[in-house]
Amino acid sequence: MENNDILKLLPYSPPFLFVDELLEVTEDRVVGNYLFSRDLDFYQGHFTDFPVTPGVILTECCAQIGLVCLGIFLLEAYISENKDSNISVGLSSSDMDFYHPVLPGEKVTVTSEKVYFRFNKLKCRVKMHNSTGKLVCKGVISGMLKLQEIE
């Protein structure tokens, strides 16, 4: 499965899509980027005089790149057999630590390493770095991936 194929299967669209590009996808790891555009709506109210990206949005970006994109790759054979299905994802747990703010206009890179994938539950260690290489956040994210038939 090509990286662009994975992006097309994501169950998100703007303004809630936090994946621009996948740089690497293997059975054990994924690396991807996202640019937090200055015109995103949440910056208008999240600290009026000094807008920063909310931690929940950083966690979502890590989950979309690190869990969902990797999960789609791992489910490739099943997805190929069930082309009339949509992917649904349920985040079951996240434990994130935050170290550095992400400002409007910053590009981040998320790296995720698979801890395990069984019974469609995926657990990953994720890290997010900004464009200067500073660690923004890291943690462990788990979720369930399921294919649902399109009706």
Catalytically active residues, by annotation? 46
CA of residue 71 relative to chain centroid, distance: 10
| Token pair for 135 | 């660690």
Sheet holding 107-118, edge to edge: 21-25, 29-35, 107-118, 121-130, 135-149, 85-98
Dihedral of alpha carbons 90, 59, 104, 30, sign: negative
